[in-house]
Amino acid sequence: MLKMKQKLPETFGQETSEHDLTLLEAALYVAGRPLDLKTLGSIIKTRSKKKIKRLARTLVKRKEKNNGALEILELEDDRFVLQLKSEYTARARLLAMRPLLSEGPLKTLSYIAYNQPVLQSHVIEVRGTKAYNHHKQLKKMGLITLEKVERTKNIKTTKFFADYFGLSHNFTKMKRQLKRKFEEYTKTKNVK
C-alpha cells in the first residue's frame, strides 16, 4: 500500500502535465492568435507563470521535433502563438475559404500599422477616399483606434491587432516585424 502511494503522485503529475499540454495546444489552435500567460493559465486553472511557461515551452519543443507545418512561437511579453510555418503560408493561403480582410482594407491596415501613429487625412491622401470605409470596418473589427486631433483623427493599431497577427505591442519592434513580413510576402509573390 505504501508503494502505491509513492507512485500515485508521480503518475498523476505526468497525466496532469500531458492533459495541461493538450489543453494549451487546443487553446492556441482555437484562438488563432497569440495568447498571454494569464489566458493560458485560465485554461489549465493555474496562476503559476513559471508552470505555464514551462508547459508552453515544452509544446514549442514538441512542435520543433514534429517537423510538421505548424509551429508554436514564444513572442515577447510572454505570449505564445500556434501558426503555420512561413514556408507553407503562400501555398496554403490558396485554400483559405475567406480572408479576414479584402485587399483594399488590408492595404490600408498595413499602411496604418507601418506608419503609426498616422493622421487620417494622410491615410486618405495616400489610399484614397475609399479608406474612410476601410477605417470604419477596421475600427468595428477592433484592429485600429481613431482619436480626434483638431480637424482630423490620429490612427493607431490596437493590442488586438498585434495579437491577431502575432506582432509586438511596441510600435518600433512592430515596424521591424512588418518590414520582414512584407519582404517575405514579396519573395513568395515573386516565386509564383
Q: What is the pLDDT of residues 12-24, one digit of tens each?
A: 455 678 999 999 9
For residues 172 and 162, give the distance between their C-alpha atoms in angstroms, rounded to a whole number: 12
For residues 143 and 67, give the distance between their C-alpha atoms in angstroms, rounded to a whole number: 33
15-84 and 103-191 have identical folds: yes
Residue 2 has pLDDT above 70, yes or no: no
How is residue 10 written as a grid cell? 508521480
Q: What is the pLDDT of residue 97?
A: 57
> Is residue 175 a contact partner of residue 186, using CB atoms and an 8 Å limit?
no
Would the pTM of this model clear 0.75, i.e. be above it? no
Q: What is the pLDDT of residue 6?
A: 38
Sequence ranges of the domains in the chain: 15-84, 103-191
Q: Which of the four pLDDT bands, split at 50, 70 and 90, describes residue 84?
A: confident
CATH topology (fold) of 103-191: Arc Repressor Mutant, subunit A (1.10.10)
C-alpha dist (Å) from residue 18 to 47, 48, 56, 145 = 18, 17, 12, 40
pLDDT tens for each residue of 116-137: 999 999 999 999 999 999 999 9
- Specify the amino acid at residue 48: S
Radius of gyration for the chain, computed over Cα atoms and rounded to the nearest angstrom: 21
Q: What is the pLDDT of residue 11?
A: 41
Q: List own/partner pairs for 114-117 with CB under 8 A and 24 or more apart.
A: 114/175, 114/178, 114/179, 114/182, 116/155, 116/156, 116/157, 116/171, 117/154, 117/155, 117/156, 117/171
> Is residue 120 a contact partner of residue 155, using CB atoms and an 8 Å limit?
yes
Strand 118-119's sheet: what is its strand order?
118-119, 152-157, 144-149
For residues 54 and 60, give the distance between their C-alpha atoms in angstroms, rounded to a whole number: 10
Q: What is the pLDDT of residue 121?
A: 92
Q: What is the pLDDT of residue 189?
A: 64
Residue 7 has pLDDT above 50, yes or no: no
Residue 99 has pLDDT above 90, yes or no: no
| CATH numeric code, 15-84 | 1.10.10.10
